[in-house]
Amino acid sequence: MERIVHLNDEPGQTGELIVEHDANAGRVRSIGTGFWSVDQASAFFKDWERIVRRIHANGVRLIAAVDLAEGGVQKAEVASIIATATDGLYHPGDAIAMIVENSLAKMQMRRVLDAQFHEFFMSKTAAETWLQGKSQAKLQGRT
């Protein structure tokens, strides 16, 4: 698995965005903690887009777990980057489980992400169960 790390370089701020992926299998794991700078989010989502496009070029569907349980509610500028970077990126059958800390974070992510591809959880176990179901459907040729 390839691993990419983006750190918040703003003074007095902490926040990490990490993505690990296996483009041949279509598997992605990502962790976001703290608060993200605009530059950090821009760089991360350029990598995210490149990874998703590589997965699709390999002819497989994206199965991703994004753990934001230790992330904060992000600035409007960062939310805008997320919405713009992911708009039109996903294909039918792609599945992204978003693990969030609370209802406020869940509401923010629901506003910016396409509900066709994302499901939101406050439990890692529930997210993994949902992804396993999506993986099984993928293996059986269903979406």
Q: Give pLDDT tens digits for 63-122.
A: 999 999 998 788 899 989 998 999 999 999 999 999 998 887 788 788 888 889 999 998
Cα angle: 75, vertex 21, 16; to 5 degrees: 30
Residues 6+ apart with CB under 8 A from 121: 97, 98, 99, 100, 127, 130
Chain segment 14-48, per-residue pLDDT in tens: 899 999 999 999 999 999 999 999 999 999 999 99
**What contacts 70, CB < 8 A, 6 or more positions away?**
31, 32, 33, 34, 101
pLDDT at residue 44 in the model? 96
Within a 10 A sphere around the Cβ of 124, how many other Cβ atoms?
13
| Domains assigned to the chain | 2-139 (3.30.750.24)
